Structure 1
Amino acid sequence: MGTGQFYLVTIRDSDGNLLNGGATYKLTVPADAPVSLYWSGTVYDRATHALIRDQVRSSRGSNTPELKTKPDGSVDLFFSPEPPAGRETNWIPTRPDGGWEIIFRFYGPTKPLFDKSWRLPDIEKVAE
């Protein structure tokens, strides 16, 4: 364990609805992610399965220098067409006129990922 990669993919939020580029979503990555290297979340255009064009960035990861971590060690990632106030460093842009999908990657995954003692929650819609 601790080598290779493991990917999780979704096109739906915690309510089972397709991810909408015009809405705001949050994913809380729990503390102590089971990786020996790093994790990352990358957003793609659902129609093309390619990176969303003309965006300032397509991903955030535990190796992003300016990523803000909460006191308990967890990280809130935000997905929306515009950055939520005060959350710019943890924001991944979407396009308001389309759907999106995310691939969450674990680089150097470790046992708690496989035995499910650590779980990544679903993405939650927080605003229209």
Structure 2
Amino acid sequence: EAMYMARDKDQNGDRIISKHTYELHFPSGQTPPAKYFWSLTVYDQEANLMLNDYDRYAISGNSEDLIYEDDGSLRILIGGKPPEGRTGNWLPAGESFTRVNLRVYGPEKAMIERTWKPPQLKRL
């Protein structure tokens, strides 16, 4: 059992484009409600997985290299160059990146009933 969500617009309603860097900020205790795990991937306009020079194609909630903020929140950067010291929280995006997909495996009640909402994709 899995649920999928996609974002193709930023916090202002503008379509996401590869020349920008974006951030997803999950407040403390507000990562996707999954019994098993969740993952983020980026796709191009033809729904192809984005190839990149870093051989990194997804971030998962069970990734050992994720770094949480002191307040327990989680910031994930998408696109641009790898942030110094935080590559575990970075998902590279190719030149035609247009969509971020969230997959939740074993969605919990808040996900199924849609009371949990994913954060906006913020353009930096």
Shared fold per TM-score greater than 0.5: yes
Does 2:2 correspond to 1:5? yes
TM-score (structure 1 length as normaliser): 0.84
**TM-score normalised by L of structure 2:** 0.86
Q: Which consecutive aligned stretches of 4+ in structure 1 deviate over 4 angstroms post-superposition?
A: none
The amino acid of 1:67's aligned partner reads L
How do residues 87-126 of structure 1 correspond to structure 2 at under 5 angstroms? Answer: 87-95=86-94, 97-126=95-124
Distance 1:111 1:77 in 2: 24
C-alpha root-mean-square deviation of aligned residues, in Å? 1.7
Aligned residue pairs total: 121
Corresponding letter in the other structure for 2:48: A
2:12 is aligned to: 15
For residues 11-49 of structure 1, the C-alpha deviation after alignment (integer angstroms, 9 at most, x for no partner) is 111111111111111001342531111111111112x21
1:28 to 25, 45, 49: 25
Name 1:45's counterpart in structure 2: 44
CA distance in 2, matches of 1:6, 1:55: 29
Opposite residue 109 of structure 1, the aligned amino acid is P
Deviations along 1:42-82, one digit per CA (max 9) or x if unpaired, are 11112x21111234211101111111122343311101231
Look up the match of 2:57: 58
CA distance in 1, matches of 2:72, 2:105: 18
The gaps in structure 1 that reach 5 residues or longer are none
Q: Following the alignment from structure 1 to structure 2, what is the Cα–Cα distance between the partners of residues 50 and 89? A: 23
C-alpha distance in 1 between matches for 2:98 and 2:104: 20
Find the residue that maps to 2:65 and give its secondary structure.
Answer: coil
- Structure 2 gaps of 5+ residues are none
Q: Residue 13 of structure 1 aligns to which amino acid in structure 2?
A: D
Query: Could you tell me whether the CA contact under 8 Å between 2:52 and 2:92 is conserved in 1?
Result: no
Deviation at 1:92, TM superposition (A): 0.5
Structure 1 residue 105: Cα displacement = 0.7
- The 2-side partners of 1:54 and 1:25 are apart by 17
Give deviations 1:85-114, integer Å, cap 9, x for gaps.
Answer: 33211000112x423211101111011123
CA contact (8 A) 1:39 1:104 kept: yes
Give the equivalent residue in structure 2 for 1:75.
Answer: 74
